[in-house]
């Protein structure tokens, strides 16, 4: 008897709390056994798109994990609002000053402090789809997306794993953003891995350590160098995939 055909990918459309339309794509593993798959929800870094996760998506699907990667508000396809298009400011220039100025101006313009709520809405949509094991959910975030998934984590029932790459931008949520992240970590029991380079210019290493220290369910994996967010993926890949296998039983 031949194997059943694989499940097709699904295009996601979700309305955020302020009316902005979030767009993404749900990808299932190729092999279909009739059961439910774990679901990983991916929140990317500024100023990228969901496509920045391409190597991770391929690795997760290979492990038998379904993946929902979405364009964050103001990025990629997630720019439509009731009042027209809303697009992030992007750097004009090639240095850290231009990058920082564009990020800061985008915070209020696009509403970055809503990203954790966006993650919750996207994860809820994903969990409602066919062939998803809602007891095996994983949140993944890079840079400001890493802080967002950390803050969203306590509100996701069935959360089994939390993974970040260079979690940053915590000041988007106020001067106590790092403390908010720590408190969120203390409220969950999900297996957690926060990764960063030691020289991350956006405090990724400091956040990874602050959100892991003294917590039995969490660990910081900090590597040499200065790469930020998904720029370190190939250097931490083996550690990340081993973590996913342990956390989700793959």
The answer to whether residue 147 sits within a structural domain is: yes
Cα separations in angstroms, 190 against 53, 112, 152, 196: 22, 25, 12, 19
Q: Would 99 be classed as within a structural domain? A: no
State yes or no: cis peptide before 154, omega within 30 of 0.
Answer: no
In percent, the amount of the chain with pLDDT more than 70 equals 97
Least confident stretch, 5-19, 29-43, 77-91: 29-43
Residue-number span of the structural domain to which 196 is assigned: 10-72+115-248
Q: Say what the pLDDT of residue 241 is.
A: 98
Within a domain: 98: no
Cβ contacts of 204 within 8 Å, gap of 6 or more: 143, 146, 165, 166, 167, 168, 196, 197, 228, 229
Q: Which of 11-15, 32-36, 77-81, 82-86 has the lowest mean pLDDT?
A: 32-36
2 belongs to a structural domain: no
> Tell me, what's the pLDDT at 90?
96
pLDDT at position 8 is 85
Kindly compute the dihedral angle of the four CA atoms of residues 204, 206, 208, 212, in this order, to the nearest 10 degrees: -170
In a domain, 122, yes or no: yes
**Does residue 1 carry a pLDDT above 60?**
no
Give per-residue pLDDT as tens, 62-117: 999 999 999 999 999 999 999 999 999 999 999 999 999 999 999 999 999 999 99
Residue 164 falls inside a structural domain: yes
pLDDT confidence of 244, banded at 50, 70, 90?
very high
Going by pLDDT thresholds of 50, 70 and 90, the confidence category of residue 5 is confident
**Position 80 in a domain:** no
On the CB side of 48, CA atoms within 13 Å amount to 20
User: What are the phi and psi torsion angles at 161 (to 5°)?
Assistant: -150, 145
CA–CA gap between residue 139 and residue 163 (Å, rounded): 6
Kindly indicate the confidence band of residue 52, based on its pLDDT and cuts at 50, 70 and 90: very high
Mean pLDDT of all residues in the chain? Answer: 96
Residue 188 in domain = yes
Q: Note whether 42 and 50 are within 8 A (CB).
A: yes
CB atoms inside a 10 Å sphere around CB 167? 34
SS3 category, 92: coil
Nearest to 116 by CA among 167, 159, 150: 150
Structure tokens at 167: 């979690």
Q: Is the pTM for the entire model greater than 0.75?
A: yes
Paired strand residues for 10: 26
Q: Which stretches within the chain are classed as H helix?
A: 54-62, 96-106, 115-127, 144-152, 177-186, 204-210, 233-248
What is the rounded distance in angstroms from the CA atom of residue 76 to the CA atom of residue 49? 6
Task: Indicate which CATH number applies to the domain containing 126.
Answer: 3.40.50.1820
Contact 209, 164 (CB under 8 A): no
Residue 1: which H helix or E strand, with range?
A: none
Give the span between the Cα atoms of 191 and 71, in whole angstroms. Answer: 25
Q: Quick one: average pLDDT of 40-60?
A: 98
Distance, CA of 236 to CA of 216 (rounded, Å): 21
The larger pLDDT score, comparing residue 76 to residue 34, is at 76
Q: How many domains does the chain have?
A: 1
pLDDT digits (tens, 9 = 90+) for 139-158: 999 999 999 999 999 999 98
Exposed (0-12), middle (13-18) or buried (19+): which is 68, by Cβ within 10 Å?
Answer: buried
Express each pLDDT in 190-209 by its tens digit: 999 999 999 999 999 999 99
């Amino acid at each position: 008897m031949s194997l059943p055909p694989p499940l097709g990918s699904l295009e996601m459309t979700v309305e955020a709390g302020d009316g902005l339309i979030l767009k993404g794509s749900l990808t299932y593993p190729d092999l279909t056994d009739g059961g439910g798959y774990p679901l990983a929800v991916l929140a990317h870094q500024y100023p990228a798109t969901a496509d920045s996760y391409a190597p991770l998506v391929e690795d997760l699907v290979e492990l038998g994990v379904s993946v929902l990667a979405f364009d964050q508000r103001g990025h990629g396809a997630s720019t439509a609002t009731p009042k027209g298009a809303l697009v992030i400011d992007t750097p004009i220039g090639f240095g850290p000053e231009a990058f920082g100025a564009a990020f800061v101006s985008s915070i209020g313009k696009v509403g970055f402090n809503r990203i954790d709520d966006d993650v919750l809405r996207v994860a809820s949509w994903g969990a409602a789809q066919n062939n998803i094991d809602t007891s095996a959910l994983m949140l993944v975030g890079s840079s400001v997306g890493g802080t967002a998934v950390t803050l969203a984590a306590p509100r996701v029932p069935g959360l089994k794993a939390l993974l970040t790459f260079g979690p940053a931008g915590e000041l988007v949520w106020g001067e106590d953003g790092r403390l908010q992240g720590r408190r969120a970590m203390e409220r969950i029991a999900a297996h957690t891995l926060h990764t960063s380079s030691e020289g991350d210019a956006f405090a990724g290493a400091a956040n990874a350590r602050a959100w892991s220290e003294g917590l039995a369910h969490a660990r910081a994996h900090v590597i040499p160098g200065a790469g930020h967010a998904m720029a370190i993926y190939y250097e931490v890949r083996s550690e990340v995939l081993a973590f996913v296998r342990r956390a989700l039983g793959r």
